[in-house]
């Protein structure tokens, strides 16, 4: 029983009222986005809503980050839209299940720690790009279909009415926390705008104008896809991309929520939870998904810190679908638009703009590039991947320039090269340029006390340098190699033979490899 309490965080101090109210707010905010993402993917609205329920419930209970919200997302919708149009929803459900299996495998292999390789400049770019996307997506709510069914900008009274309601919601969300934090300002804003529209009989866009959310409990359904190698080969690329996109977005969201709450979640546990949630989503007629930064920020900013808020959000969403659709469909979209605009404002890292003059130019370039790719392509995984690659190349270039060699000749006529900086593929050329093979004495010592051989390129550089000295009838000695460098050289003994001088009074601390 104690384990069950720990699972729901009931063993810790939990503000139940805050958790429940935050969960209700998140549930209301999930509805229009889940519907919109399902339509983007070419699927029925209920497919997105069912995914939001299953993903939200499973990850809230078993995920690695209390307070984080998962559901149907635009990043996943963009991945599966081509498959949905060409082969239908059954193949989408099968793809979601396979993506879940890949994500569980990533968690079991403890690949969640790879998120540590994402630089802060990439995270800034990701967050800023996502904030811009959230804001730009709300602009579509200011459009209405014309007689031909095409969307066009509102004008006249409908525009002023909608804009006034949006501003009302924004002002409540902005000002209410300055007066009281007894109830979430986001929930108050939704209810106040709903009350104004209902009391005054204002004709404005509602949730029901987007699509009906009426439905039942998510039906269990085994995807009607032939279990053949051809089918697997068809869906595997989509599943692999979906799994990667989902994990990148989820783990980045986890890091951001960690910073906000000053606690630490488990990336590997989140990978497994995301995978399990996607598998169940595929079996229960959902389009799959991942963590949602916008809804997670709504949840955290409402004061939620435990798993209970996510569970309440998921269950509330299901109740809305099964029993409350007629009421929820009357919710003014203006209230939700104002809410998401404030989420966009809160998501954007305004501090990143103030650090432009203090940040290295390479970091600024990476941040702007990731933001641009995110906004233009709506592909968060590609944007993050590009940012990581560029950051890695910049890091390699900077380290390649840092290798140095201090030279001296001792009283016995032995020349010493004291190397500073890592020896790897990027610094090999600079390393080779340090040595004067023709004019050096018979014995030469390379001191690696302030350096390290990092990769095969470094080994090959030492190997070629040894051959150059050997051809001149001279001998090269290595000194102060750390244990991991020795291990690399031992593994490469078929390639290189170097006399390694021992120094019994000097030990280099090295990580185990």
Burial group, residue 262, by CB count within 10 angstroms (0-12, 13-18, 19+): exposed
3-state secondary structure of 67: coil
- The predicted pLDDT at position 60 comes to 96
Give the span between the Cα atoms of 216 and 214, in whole angstroms. Answer: 7
Enter the DSSP assignment of 357. T
For residue 180, give both structure tokens.
């009281």
Give the span between the Cα atoms of 364 and 381, in whole angstroms. Answer: 19
- The predicted pLDDT at position 74 comes to 81
Encode pLDDT of 327-337 as tens digits.
999 999 999 89
N-term to C-term CA, the chain: 41
Q: What percentage of the chain reaches a pLDDT higher than 70?
A: 93
CB 235 within 8 A of CB 93: no
Domain ranges of the chain: 18-350, 361-399, 402-501
Average pLDDT (293-313) is: 92
Q: Minimal CA–CA distance to 107: which of 254, 313, 229?
A: 254
Give the span between the Cα atoms of 145 and 444, in whole angstroms. Answer: 81
CATH class of 402-501: alpha beta
CB 135 within 8 A of CB 275: no
Encode pLDDT of 214-239 as tens digits.
999 999 989 999 989 999 999 999 99
Residue ranges of the alpha helices (H) in 348-400? 350-354, 361-377, 380-400
**Average model confidence (pLDDT) across the chain:** 87
Encode pLDDT of 103-149 as tens digits.
999 999 998 888 878 888 888 898 898 888 888 888 888 988 887 77
Q: Is the pLDDT of residue 7 over 50?
A: no
| 184 confidence band (pLDDT: 50, 70, 90) | confident
Q: What percentage of the chain reaches a pLDDT higher than 90?
A: 52
Q: Is the pLDDT of residue 498 over 60?
A: no
Encode pLDDT of 235-261 as tens digits.
999 999 899 889 988 999 999 999 888
Is the pTM for the entire model greater than 0.95?
Answer: no
Q: Minimal CA–CA distance to 463: which of 491, 492, 438?
A: 492
Average pLDDT (392-406) is: 88
- The predicted pLDDT at position 500 comes to 53
- The predicted pLDDT at position 503 comes to 47
Give the span between the Cα atoms of 24 and 313, in whole angstroms. Answer: 6
- The predicted pLDDT at position 1 comes to 40
| 166 confidence band (pLDDT: 50, 70, 90) | very high
- The predicted pLDDT at position 491 comes to 66
- The predicted pLDDT at position 492 comes to 61
Average pLDDT (482-504) is: 59
Whole-Å CA distances, 410 to 153, 222, 415: 82, 78, 7
CB 54 within 8 A of CB 277: yes
- The predicted pLDDT at position 22 comes to 94
| 441 confidence band (pLDDT: 50, 70, 90) | very high
The answer for 503, left when phi > 0, alpha when psi is -120 to 50, beta otherwise, is: beta
CB 231 within 8 A of CB 225: yes
Q: Is the pLDDT of residue 9 over 60?
A: no
Give the span between the Cα atoms of 187 and 214, in whole angstroms. Answer: 22
3-state secondary structure of 53: helix
Burial group, residue 502, by CB count within 10 angstroms (0-12, 13-18, 19+): exposed
Residue, of 251 and 356, whose pLDDT is higher:
251
Average pLDDT (438-442) is: 93
- The predicted pLDDT at position 77 comes to 86
DSSP3 helix / strand / coil % (the chain, rounded to 5): 65, 10, 30
| 14 confidence band (pLDDT: 50, 70, 90) | confident
- The predicted pLDDT at position 402 comes to 84
| 3 confidence band (pLDDT: 50, 70, 90) | very low
């Amino acid at each position: 029983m104690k384990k069950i309490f720990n699972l729901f965080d009931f063993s810790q101090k939990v503000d139940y009222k805050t958790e429940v109210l935050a969960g209700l707010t998140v549930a209301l905010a999930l509805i229009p986005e889940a519907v919109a993402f399902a339509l983007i993917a070419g699927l029925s609205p209920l497919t997105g809503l069912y995914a939001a329920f299953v993903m939200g419930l499973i990850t809230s209970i078993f995920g690695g980050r209390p307070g984080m919200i998962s559901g149907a997302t635009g990043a996943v919708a963009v991945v599966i839209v081509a498959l949905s149009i060409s082969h239908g929803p059954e193949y989408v459900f099968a793809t979601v299940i396979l993506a879940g299996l890949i994500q569980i495998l990533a968690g079991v292999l403890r690949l969640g720690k790879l998120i540590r390789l994402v630089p802060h400049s990439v995270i800034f770019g990701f967050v800023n790009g996502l904030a811009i996307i959230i804001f730009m997506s709300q602009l579509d709510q200011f459009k209405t279909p014309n007689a031909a069914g095409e969307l066009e900008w509102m004008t006249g009274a409908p525009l002023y009415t909608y804009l006034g309601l949006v501003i009302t919601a924004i002002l409540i969300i902005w000002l209410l926390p300055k007066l009281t934090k007894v109830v979430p300002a986001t929930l108050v804003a939704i209810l106040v705008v709903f009350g104004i529209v209902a009391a005054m009989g204002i004709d404005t866009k509602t949730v029901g104008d987007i699509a009906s959310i009426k439905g039942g409990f998510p039906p269990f359904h085994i995807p009607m896809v032939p279990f053949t190698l051809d089918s697997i080969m068809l869906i595997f690329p989509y599943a692999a991309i979906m799994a990667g996109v989902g994990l990148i977005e989820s783990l980045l969201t986890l890091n951001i929520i960690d910073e906000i709450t000053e606690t630490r979640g488990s990336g590997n546990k989140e990978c497994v939870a995301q995978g399990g949630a996607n598998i169940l989503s595929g079996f229960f007629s959902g389009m799959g998904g991942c963590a949602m930064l916008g809804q997670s920020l709504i949840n955290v900013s409402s004061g939620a810190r435990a798993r209970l808020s996510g569970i309440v959000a998921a269950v509330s969403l299901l109740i809305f679908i099964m029993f409350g659709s007629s009421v929820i469909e009357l919710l003014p979209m203006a209230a939700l638009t104002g809410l998401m605009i404030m989420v966009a404002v809160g998501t954007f890292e305004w501090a990143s703009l103030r650090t432009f003059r203090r940040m290295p130019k390479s970091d600024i370039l990476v941040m702007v590039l990731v933001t641009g790719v995110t906004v233009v392509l709506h592909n968060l995984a590609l944007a993050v991947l590009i940012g990581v690659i560029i950051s890695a190349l910049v890091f390699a270039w900077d380290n390649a320039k840092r290798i140095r060699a201090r030279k001296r000749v001792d009283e016995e006529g032995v020349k010493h090269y004291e190397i500073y900086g890592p020896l790897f593929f990027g610094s090999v050329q600079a390393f080779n340029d340090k040595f004067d093979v023709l004019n050096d004495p018979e014995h030469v010592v390379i001191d690696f006390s302030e350096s390290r051989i990092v990769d095969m390129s470094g080994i090959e550089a030492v190997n070629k340098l040894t051959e150059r000295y050997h051809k001149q009838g001279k001998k090269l000695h290595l000194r102060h190699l750390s244990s991991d460098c020795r291990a690399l050289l031992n593994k490469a003994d078929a390639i290189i033979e170097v006399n390694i001088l021992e120094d019994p009074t000097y030990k280099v601390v090295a990580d185990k490899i």
